[in-house]
Structure 1
């Protein structure tokens, strides 16, 4: 779709709607990795769902593209529109916690509330909202749901969509869907909630959500471990799950390369173990009283059979935070190093060790001196598998190899029954990948849904599906 020019008459119509219309500041035209740069655009900041509805109705009538903007933390370019002639829609002023219903295990919040604020509201109600991602201080819940964010607790609590009871959303023509139920069971037809979650603003704009609240664990225990290999890590996970049950919330794989990058860019950071083994795991459990002791017992058994060679268990909240700081700072150290190509992938758990070994070989065939930092949510099969320049070289030296590195990794992932987009979404970055690897029948159904809900193609054009 080619958007009509944003002439003065159209902009005057938007101004009359009291949408807080301004010219988008540079921060709204950038994304964290610096790959895309948005064209100058008017920025609408409505205060309520009625304002969002009025904006979309006006833009749909005029054929003007709308690009929803949450916290700007997305890593696949979904919040950036380079072509111009679009309106940016920020949800930042829809920032109310509408209702806390602890007895129903529900929290109703507007799309502009940050994930950290959602977590705080849940804590104040004596409950837990377990979704946790590195950008939770700035990521807004609307964007979190639009991308179906994952994070470190998917192993136990699922992705974002698994924590949503209902949504309020606006379709392309301004129609408002008001479905903020608190129900666990509602078998009354098509589940539009799950259709819109993960659609990255291409089918509708989420303006509010009814979120699941869960009981807070009586005990939380966190440990940082040295393991022999990724296969050993998975064996350990299976053993601990057998002994502890469903209390393991996080099981994060860390490679020595990640600690080397931390030492280079954050020399004052204390590393948990006395040495830097090739492979490590950060594990966290939460449950009834006695859970921490059960983890200690399980790790003692692992030591006896040689599955764990070194470990530190946090003794207080400060030590727990320090262990998590190591894992959560790795992405920033990666950014400062500068990757040749980054990959957010998932494969079946049984194929993870094979992927890690074959991936190393595949990358070496394209860029023999590249360094690999493989880390992430191994408990749910999601790895961040990133290739970096050799020491003393710059990522620009590999400009001609970048696409080949990505293709080699993604081809391997798909051959093992995996996904090239595990938790960050498709955005603009992976539309070609979706076309290359996606099932034709599934893609046809997706295009039909897009055409039905957004016939003029105004909602985030070029995201997920390529423009025809």
Structure 2
């Protein structure tokens, strides 16, 4: 394939091409080191035209393309397979913010822009881009959109799909679709934008996007709350919508096992409360109305304190602390956001990114923990996630002292126990992480034949050579 590689070099230059094994390694290995693939080359185009030229060349040479953003995914969606007849097309050189319109509340960005950069740019213009997740310092917006990322503010602002107005996409034939329309209303035929959002690069490559912005919050209240049970957490959330005047932006549920792992493995982490409890809620309320100070203060912090006091009298709250400044709030959020890092440092785990209706979470957690322990009695369940939108990371940490070789043979039984229960509750086996390589078989098993056949029909129609991220989501 030396001739093919030289043709790639002619398109992207030496700076845009990686062919040595050491240089390719970070691009063919996922963050958790669960997937390791092989690639002919890593190609890093500098603009949309170069992306299109690379894809057109690959289509002519029948070489598969694996689009990749920040490579922070957890299901292997951006990792090539082991065959080696694929290229990784990394968008990490496409980092330009090409327009920001504070009056129209939009920002136009290239796919390689880091999520945190987008958040900071919006804030500098007194605006908010609300997508927020633990990997925001390294994940890119193209990957976020390709997986329809969720994060901690979905219950108020929606998933990534709800945060986009328009897209630019390179098709599997190397053509460029310019759908960069900053329109809130557009009923001109099929909605191609929604087709590519969440498709994990299997139908085309997102190269630019028009993002929606919101007013920057002026009053934010953050609390760490110990609750007696998931049922109490859901009841606390239900009442908070009215108590906050519909200003609940985040509500995260965490079990004690996850907190213990964070305290053990993350330097500087401290327990916010003096006593140990089985369950915790991290609340955030925010408003665009400026906070009043002094004797007549009536901001969200005071409303939150009053609400938590009432909830404590009702038995929904065991203990709580409210952040008095941004530094304290960040420390509380760090306990939640470091769950995945702490779990990785602890050892192997089986992760379940599931969702059920919010009202069903308490019953699901009770049955799910029993099902997980039945499949592997020695397991250490680590439950945490976005209780506000029904999305839980219902994970199984390996028993203490077990290595991957001893633990992974139990993964299938644990997965089946959890996923069977999720489906019986009318839930989803993938709430925000996507399907990738990890859940292809599970998707085919748990979704109906009509759904899978329709997905395959769409894939074959748009990518008849099956060159765009093959083997991900559905096999054709």
Common fold, TM-score beyond 0.5? yes
Alignment of 1:372-387 (within 5 A): 372-387=381-396
Alignment of 1:28-427 (within 5 A): 28-81=27-80, 82-266=82-266, 268-287=268-287, 288=289, 289=291, 290-427=299-436
Residue 10 (str. 1) matches residue 4 (str. 2):
yes
1:362-391: CA deviations, max 9, x gaps?
112221121111111011000011112333
Aligned to 1:3: none
Cα distance in 2 between the residues matched to 1:357 and 1:47:
50
Offset at residue 43 of structure 1 (A):
1.4
Offset at residue 79 of structure 1 (A):
1.1
Aligned to 1:27: 26
1:137-185: CA deviations, max 9, x gaps?
1101111100111111111111111100101110000111111111111
Whether contact under 8 Å (1:22, 1:44) holds in the other structure is yes
TM-score, normalization by structure 2:
0.94
Cα distance in 2 between the residues matched to 1:75 and 1:270:
27
Whether contact under 8 Å (2:348, 2:407) holds in the other structure is no
- SS of 2:350's equivalent in the other structure is coil
Cα distance in 1 between the residues matched to 2:101 and 2:412:
49
Cα distance in 1 between the residues matched to 2:120 and 2:86:
35
Offset at residue 29 of structure 1 (A):
1.3
Mind listing any 5+ residue stretches in structure 2 that lack a counterpart? 292-298
Offset at residue 267 of structure 1 (A):
6.2
Cα distance in 1 between the residues matched to 2:115 and 2:315:
39
| Count of residue pairs brought into register by the alignment | 461
Offset at residue 395 of structure 1 (A):
4.5
Cα distance in 2 between the residues matched to 1:126 and 1:294:
25
Whether contact under 8 Å (1:388, 1:395) holds in the other structure is no
Whether contact under 8 Å (1:339, 1:386) holds in the other structure is no
Cα distance in 2 between the residues matched to 1:12 and 1:108:
33
- The more displaced of 261-270 and 159-168 is 261-270
1:326-347: CA deviations, max 9, x gaps?
1111111111122441111111
Cα distance in 1 between the residues matched to 2:203 and 2:267:
45
Offset at residue 209 of structure 1 (A):
0.3
1:381-433: CA deviations, max 9, x gaps?
00011112333444433332111111111111111101110100000000001
- The more displaced of 193-202 and 364-373 is 364-373
Corresponding residue to 2:451 among 428, 442, 458: 442
Whether contact under 8 Å (2:223, 2:322) holds in the other structure is yes
1:283-338: CA deviations, max 9, x gaps?
00101232222222211211222211100000001100111111111111111122
- SS of 2:198's equivalent in the other structure is coil
Whether contact under 8 Å (2:358, 2:389) holds in the other structure is yes
Cα distance in 2 between the residues matched to 1:153 and 1:439:
30
- The more displaced of 198-207 and 78-87 is 78-87
Q: Give the 3 Å change call, closer, same or farther, for CA 456–281 of structure 1 in structure 2.
A: same
Q: Give the 3 Å change call, closer, same or farther, for CA 252–10 of structure 1 in structure 2.
A: same
TM-score, normalization by structure 1:
0.96
Q: Give the 3 Å change call, closer, same or farther, for CA 391–12 of structure 1 in structure 2.
A: closer
Q: Give the 3 Å change call, closer, same or farther, for CA 8–158 of structure 1 in structure 2.
A: same
Cα distance in 2 between the residues matched to 1:246 and 1:55:
48
- SS of 1:145's equivalent in the other structure is helix
Aligned to 2:294: none
Aligned to 1:4: none
- SS of 1:424's equivalent in the other structure is coil
Q: Give the 3 Å change call, closer, same or farther, for CA 58–217 of structure 1 in structure 2.
A: same
Whether contact under 8 Å (2:24, 2:41) holds in the other structure is no
Q: Give the 3 Å change call, closer, same or farther, for CA 300–401 of structure 1 in structure 2.
A: same
Cα distance in 2 between the residues matched to 1:103 and 1:264:
46
- The more displaced of 118-127 and 32-41 is 32-41
- SS of 1:186's equivalent in the other structure is coil
